[in-house]
Amino acid sequence: MGIVIIGGGQAGLQSADSLRTEGYAGEITIVADEPGLPYQRPPLSKDYLTPGKEALPLPLRGEAFFNDKDIKLLRGVSATAINRQARTVALADGTTLPYGQLILATGTRNRTLGCTGAGLPGIHGLRTLADAEELHAALPAARNVVVIGAGFIGLEFAAAARAHGCNTTVLEFAPRPMGRALTPVMGDWFAGAHARLGIDLRLSEGIDRFEAGEHGRVAAAVSTTGESYPADLVVVGIGVLPNDSLALEAGLQTEDGILVDARLRTSDPGILAVGDCANFPHPLAGGRIRLESVQNATDQARHAARTIMAAAGGQAEATVYADLPWFWSTQGPYRLQMAGLAHPQDDTLVLGDPAAAKFSVLCFRDGFLTAVESVNLPGDHLAARKLLAGSARLTRHEAETEGFTLKAAAKSLASAPA
Ligand SMILES: Cc1cc2nc3c(=O)[nH]c(=O)nc-3n(C[C@H](O)[C@H](O)[C@H](O)COP(=O)(O)OP(=O)(O)OC[C@H]3O[C@@H](n4cnc5c(N)ncnc54)[C@H](O)[C@@H]3O)c2cc1C
């Protein structure tokens, strides 16, 4: 029996690709509920919405890939149930697929608002190509845009809306933008940067309700302070929830995602989970974590392929997943890159020039470097990834030395004897 992968996103596609790279010669079937070729999500809130840019499809792999690698892609059909005893997956079209190994790569879905008016026309989410197509079509005619949530996607969209000339307001109930993922110093810098772009970023102010205009479309967003903001286009970016119900209904352990071990195996050894839907142990997290990033989706998929091949007695060695997390976000002219996992309580050191929008924030825990956030300094980001992935641990004391740069530190690490 072959391998079935549920989910045709970044993690699902990479799992199939890596299984072939690792020498798996059996049948591979990907069950993908979205239509069309699997595509990249990151550009949907960035280049795809930039004024004057054509909205081009952004496939993860070309059509030829599936033929060349002999990978069966079932498009536009969802998996509806897993029968672990019979080792089968039921599909919405009535078919049943047998599997030897099953990989769950079901990703996440957007959280939705439950407030009055949340379902009015003109209020959008941003996760799928279909969502981005609607926004791409709506932006040129929009005047007053309100974004709910100052997370990565909300702020990327806000910068795009502002670049289209829209009056753009962002409502965020927390006191800082991107507060879950960034250090306070970086969050505060971005609050100022968005204000300089002309975005009205309202912190510590949530959404109370939406009001409709004459034609039944959204016309205003009323915040928790009672303020009313005119709105003809609204984007809700308040985070995501893992798609773990298939796993839960099949009796697998779930808790904010599908629980897997360090080799990405669920509580059933015949089933693995990877990407946004997986909740896994990571040494840098000091426990379990669920990450939503391209790096995590692709690296976990590679590890999962090795786990499967090693269990089948192949050449591959099953490796514990402990890869360095990294992430990026482009908000107007600002390219933010992060390496490692920053904690709001980390001790920080700023290098570079925040006023010129070229700087890095180094995070230290117990005196050692644990994460680096960079703005418009891709060289610093790459150096930080090398430093954090290596075994030598940079101290705050070393980073404070006159003339210290991340690039030089990474270079000297590379040339140091093993
Ligand atoms: C607008 C946007 C911008 C982003 N920008 C960045 C960025 O700049 N940098 C970054 O690192 N990350 C970014 N991300 C996050 C990144 O795209 C995700 O972390 C990554 O796509 C996760 O891959 P995945 O395969 O785990 O999940 P997904 O890409 O969500 O793929 C899962 C797929 O499985 C399908 N599926 C679910 N259930 C079933 C079922 N029962 N049957 C069949 N199919 C099913 C889903 O419909 C989906 O197509 C962004 C995400 C979005 C939405």
Helices (H), 227-377: 245-249, 294-311
User: Is residue 314's pLDDT more than 90?
Assistant: no
- pLDDT band for position 414 (50/70/90)? low
Give nearest CA residue, ligand 1 atom 15.
293
Q: Which residues are CB-contacts of 210 (< 8 A; sequence separation ≥ 6)?
A: 115, 116, 117, 118, 120, 123, 218, 220, 221, 222, 231, 234
Q: State whether the beta carbon of 238 lies less than 6 angstroms from ligand 1.
A: no
The answer to whether the CB of 39 is under 6 A from ligand 1 is no
Tens of pLDDT, residue by residue over 243-260, are 999 999 999 999 999 999
Q: What mean pLDDT is predicted for residues 139-164?
A: 97
DSSP per residue over 97-135, as a string? EE-SEEEE---EEE----SBTTTSTTEE--SSHHHHHHH
pLDDT at res. 416: 63
Mean pLDDT for the chain overall = 95
> Which CATH number does the domain 3-109+240-311 belong to among 2.130.10.10, 1.10.150.20, 3.30.499.10, 3.50.50.60?
3.50.50.60
Residue whose Cα lies nearest atom 31 of ligand 1: it is 9
Report the pLDDT value the prediction gives residue 313, as an integer from 0 to 100. Answer: 79
For residue 331 and ligand 1, the question of a CB distance below 6 A is answered with no
Return the pLDDT at 55: 76
Which CATH code, of 3.50.50.60, 2.60.40.10, 3.20.20.70, 3.30.70.270, is assigned to 112-236? 3.50.50.60
User: Per-residue pLDDT for 57 more than 90?
Assistant: no
Single-letter amino acid, residue 258: I
**pTM of the predicted protein model:** 0.96
Quote the pLDDT of residue 316: 66
CB of 168 sitting under 6 A from ligand 1: no
Which CATH architecture group holds 333-415?
A: 2-Layer Sandwich (3.30)
In angstroms and rounded to an integer, the radius of gyration of the C-alpha atoms of the chain is 23
pLDDT for 390: 85
Give the helix/strand (H/E) hosting 88. strand 88-91
Could you give the 3-state DSSP secondary structure of residue 89? strand
**Non-local CB neighbours of 378 within 8 Å, separated by 6+ positions:** 335, 337
Specify the range with the lowest mean pLDDT, choosing from 73-77, 238-242, 314-318, 391-395: 314-318
Alpha carbon of 144 to ligand 1 centroid (Å): 29
pLDDT of 1 strictly over 90: no
Q: What mean pLDDT is predicted for residues 354-381?
A: 97
- Predicted confidence at residue 418, as pLDDT, reads 52
105 close to ligand 1 (CB < 6 Angstrom):
yes
Q: Which residues, listed in sequence order, are joined to residue 30 by a DSSP beta bridge?
A: 5, 73
pLDDT of residue 344: 83
Indicate the domain borders of the chain: 3-109+240-311, 112-236, 333-415
Q: How far is the CA of 136 from the centre of ligand 1 (A)?
A: 19
Q: Which of 31-45, 49-63, 181-195, 270-284 has the lowest mean pLDDT?
A: 49-63
Q: Check residues 368 and 52 and name the one with the higher pLDDT.
A: 368
pLDDT at residue 342, rounded to an integer: 92
In 165-323, at which residue ranges do the beta strands (DSSP E only) sit?
Answer: 167-172, 200-203, 207-212, 218-223, 228-230, 233-236, 240-242, 258-259, 271-273, 278-282, 287-289
Q: Could you identify the atom of ligand 1 that is nearest to the CA of residue 295? A: 11
Residue 292 CA: which ligand 1 atom is closest? 19
Q: From CA 228, how far away is CA 222, in angstroms rounded? A: 4
Provide mean pLDDT across the span 326-339.
98
Q: Which of 10, 49, 238 to mutate to test the pocket of ligand 1 (most atoms within 8 A of CB)?
A: 10
Q: Do domains 112-236 and 333-415 have the same CATH topology?
A: no
Under the banding of pLDDT at 50, 70 and 90, the label for residue 417 is low
